[in-house]
Amino acid sequence: MSISISKLAKLSGVSTRTLRYYDEIGLLTPERISRNGYRVYGQKQIDLLQQIMFYRELGVVLEEIKKIIYADDYEPLSALQKHLTDLQSKKDQIVCLIKTVEQTIAAAKGEIIMTNKEKFSGFKAKLVEDNEKKFGQEIREKYGDGQVDASNAKLMGLSAVQYDHVESLSREINGSLKRAFDQGDPSSELAQKTCALHKEWICYFWSEYSKEAHLGLVQTYVDDPRFRAYYDAVAKGSAGFLYQAMKIYCQE
Amino acid sequence: MSISISKLAKLSGVSTRTLRYYDEIGLLTPERISRNGYRVYGQKQIDLLQQIMFYRELGVVLEEIKKIIYADDYEPLSALQKHLTDLQSKKDQIVCLIKTVEQTIAAAKGEIIMTNKEKFSGFKAKLVEDNEKKFGQEIREKYGDGQVDASNAKLMGLSAVQYDHVESLSREINGSLKRAFDQGDPSSELAQKTCALHKEWICYFWSEYSKEAHLGLVQTYVDDPRFRAYYDAVAKGSAGFLYQAMKIYCQE
DNA sequence: CTTGACCTTAACGTTGCGTCATGGTTTATG
DNA sequence: CATAAACCATGACGCAACGTTAAGGTCAAG
């Protein structure tokens, strides 16, 4: 039983272009090539294509599929397991994005109201105040007054959009930290991403960034009961977790 | 305040390549080009880049970002709303895939069942198996034992050729269903043809056919998440669509 | 004058095909 | 038997968002 490329295409529902492409990358080569140069497929190829389509529907990349169906020593199950975790982390990413976008929309709506009420500047002032209250003392002691003043100045100069970003960032950090903490591994991708987010956030307040200062700051999160309480509100023990993660992050 | 490309890169954390690319696509053009051909960026560009990065982190495509930050009549909020729904459907897709892969893995772990059924590719085998396990009960109650037993017996007795036909039928159904679904009309010719194909397919498993039983089966496609996941893999919502089409088909 | 840091453009590679463009082969039909 | 309609082939571009050489110009320091 031999069929042409278009017959196979119709039979399987994929395009002829796709079949030629699979031939090109060695995923599915025809049984033989007839004298006129036409591709000829046999029963075996039909079966193989079926398997290919099966994995493709699962979202496995073609290169993986090739390994799965041709390498004897390749474990289809573990391949699928890996694929599953890939999918899950993709989902986590998207869920994370969704949250952020939702929050951004909410914040933006709120911001419109705020600007309408001309309360925005007051709001920012409050943030500065909080910032000063939160970090001022420690940072002043450790890194000098200049740092703190620069931070406040920078904050006052934030545009509305930037301010929104800061807000959504801090929410994202909390969410991300919680998820990473739940997973339990400070070296995990999510935990390290949390650190990166935190760096981004901190850079809104610092004119100069250094890993030492950053790690130092997070250290105070653990040492100071007020900070610890704030992060424990996200998840109990998450301040310490963040510190562990940050140690790894700052080593890189 | 004018800075070079690498300064901006360091300041913002993106690569110089990215900045050149943004210039190339008109997303972020430098303030000016100095005599030696170097790109020179100003404060305004720094702010713009920050906005760009903000939206980029939300997963908005660059083309959209360009519209958002440059077109005055463009509503950033509604753009974000749309982006949100995009993200959500992406998430749904992935969640769907995750389910399917999990099911596949679960099925594969009971690998003996699969190999026993020889040529049966995992999915269909599992479907039939599930059919027996979960709905055998139901079908038995509704339509009597004979129906189920005959189905299984018939299935086990399929010849290779018949099996091939069943397989290609199911592919044809999927393809046909997808196309009909994309068109959107359950009463369309294509949709009704899909129903006919499905009937043909089901007749491989049932010794006696009745419209009521057929409609009942398709109903379970909608009600049971695993079945729905299978059909949603063809096209999201296609299980429900098939059910709508089948209602019309069975009335005729 | 050379080294090295920094800048430029150009162009390929990535993933999985869709979509021409161009041309050869086969078959059905008038 | 000529021709049109199908069907086949091989390029090659395009898509998103850059990473990564390659090849070479510019500029300040030693």
- A85, burial (CB in 10 Å: exposed 0-12, middle 13-18, buried 19+): exposed
- Rounded to 5 degrees, φ, ψ at B210 are -140, 145
The C-alpha atoms of residue A184 and residue A200 are separated, in whole angstroms, by 23
Residue B229 clears pLDDT 70, i.e. is over it: no
Taking residues A130-134, report their average pLDDT: 43
Q: Which contiguous run of DSSP H or E holds residue A40?
A: strand A39-40
For residue B92, give both structure tokens. Answer: 């749904």
Kindly determine whether the C-beta of residue A38 is less than 7 Å away from any atom of nucleic acid strand D. Answer: yes
- Mean pLDDT over all residues of chain B? 72
User: Nearest-CA residue of chain B relative to A52?
Assistant: B121
Q: Are strands B32-33 and B39-40 parallel, antiparallel or unpaired?
A: antiparallel
The C-alpha atoms of residue B184 and residue B252 are separated, in whole angstroms, by 20
Q: Which contiguous run of DSSP H or E holds residue A139?
A: helix A137-143
Q: Which amino acid residue lies closest to nucleotide C7, measuring CA to C1'?
A: B38
For residue A250, give both structure tokens. Answer: 């700052």
Contact A165 B80 (CB under 8 A): no
Distance linking the first and last C-alpha atoms of chain B: 76
The 10s digit of each residue's pLDDT in A38-65 is 999 998 999 899 889 988 887 889 998 9
Interatomic distance A38 CA / D1 C1' (Å) = 26
Contacts for B210 with CB less than 8 Å, ≥ 6 apart: B143
CA dihedral sign of residues A50, A53, A55, A60: positive
Right CATH for A86-251 from 3.30.365.10, 1.10.490.50, 3.40.50.2300, 3.40.50.300: 1.10.490.50
Residue A51 contacts residue B121 (beta carbons within 8 Å): yes
Q: Which of A138-142, B11-15, B93-97 has the highest mean pLDDT?
A: B11-15
The C-alpha atoms of residue B155 and residue B116 are separated, in whole angstroms, by 13
Q: Which contiguous run of DSSP H or E holds residue A39?
A: strand A39-40
Residue A248 clears pLDDT 70, i.e. is over it: yes
CA A218 from centroid of its chain's CA atoms: 22
DSSP chain B: --B-HHHHHHHHS--HHHHHHHHHTTSS--SEE-TTS-EEB-HHHHHHHHHHHHHHHTT--HHHHHHHHH-TT--HHHHHHHHHHHHHHHHHHHHHHHHHHHHHHHHHHTHHHHHHTTT--HHHHHHHHHIIIIIIHHHHHHH-HHHHHHHHHHHHT--HHHHHHHHHHHHHHHHHHHHHHHHT-TTSHHHHHHHHHHHHHHTTT-SS--HHHHHHHHHHHHHSHHHHHHHHHHSTTHHHHHHHHHHHHHH-
A177: closest CA among A222, A134, A233, A130? Answer: A233
Chain B 18-77 contacts with nucleic strand D (CB below 7 A): 18, 21, 35-37, 56, 61-63
Contacts for B194 with CB less than 8 Å, ≥ 6 apart: B173, B176, B177, B180, B242, B245
CA dihedral sign of residues A183, A168, B11, A204: negative
Residue B45 contacts residue B23 (beta carbons within 8 Å): no
Residue B35 clears pLDDT 90, i.e. is over it: yes
Residue A219 clears pLDDT 90, i.e. is over it: no
CA dihedral of A209, A210, A211, A213, whole degrees rounded to 10: -90
Interatomic distance B242 CA / D4 C1' (Å) = 41
Q: Which of B58, B81, B121 sits opposite A50 (nearest CB)?
A: B121
Residue A207 contacts residue A155 (beta carbons within 8 Å): no
DSSP code of residue A59: T
Contacts for B221 with CB less than 8 Å, ≥ 6 apart: B227, B228, B230, B231, B239, B242, B243
Contact B105 A81 (CB under 8 A): yes
For residue A16, give both structure tokens. Answer: 């002829």
pLDDT at residue A84, as a whole number:
83
Q: Is the ipTM of this complex over 0.90?
A: no
Residue B216 clears pLDDT 80, i.e. is over it: no
Per the model's pLDDT, the better-predicted residue between B232 and A118 turns out to be B232
- b/e map A35-74, b = 16+ CB within 10 Å: eeeebebeeebbebbbbbbbbbbbbbebebbbebbeeeee
What is the least distance, in Å, from the CA of A46 to any CA of chain B?
10
Kindly determine whether the C-beta of residue B248 is less than 7 Å away from any atom of nucleic acid strand D. Answer: no
The 10s digit of each residue's pLDDT in B131-187 is 444 344 444 444 444 444 444 444 444 444 444 555 666 766 777 787 778 777 788
How many other CB atoms sit within 10 Å of the CB of residue B46? 16
pLDDT at residue A143, as a whole number:
45
Query: So what's the architecture of A5-74 in CATH?
Result: Orthogonal Bundle (1.10)
Per the model's pLDDT, the better-predicted residue between A56 and A212 turns out to be A56
Q: Which of A57, A108, A161 sits opposite B77 (nearest CB)?
A: A108
Interface of A with B (CB under 8 A): 11-13, 46, 50-51, 53-54, 57-59, 76-77, 80-81, 83-84, 87-88, 90-91, 94-95, 97-98, 100-102, 104-105, 108-109, 159, 161-162, 165
User: What is the CA angle A151-A154-A155, rounded to 5?
Assistant: 85
For residue A98, list chain B residues with Cβ-Cβ distance below 8 A. 84, 87-88, 91
Residue B155 contacts residue B128 (beta carbons within 8 Å): yes
pLDDT at residue B148, as a whole number:
43
Q: Which of the residues A54, A65, A94, A159 would you substitute to probe the B interface, choosing the one with the greatest number of B C-beta atoms within 10 Å?
A: A94
For domain B5-70, the CATH class is mainly alpha
pLDDT at residue A39, as a whole number:
97
- Rounded to 5 degrees, φ, ψ at A33 are -115, 125
Percent of chain A with pLDDT over 90: 18
Counting one residue from A and one from B, how many pairs have CB atoms under 8 Å apart?
87
B187: closest CA among B240, B246, B232, B237? Answer: B246
| Domain extent listing, chain B | 5-70, 89-251
The C-alpha atoms of residue B66 and residue A67 are separated, in whole angstroms, by 40
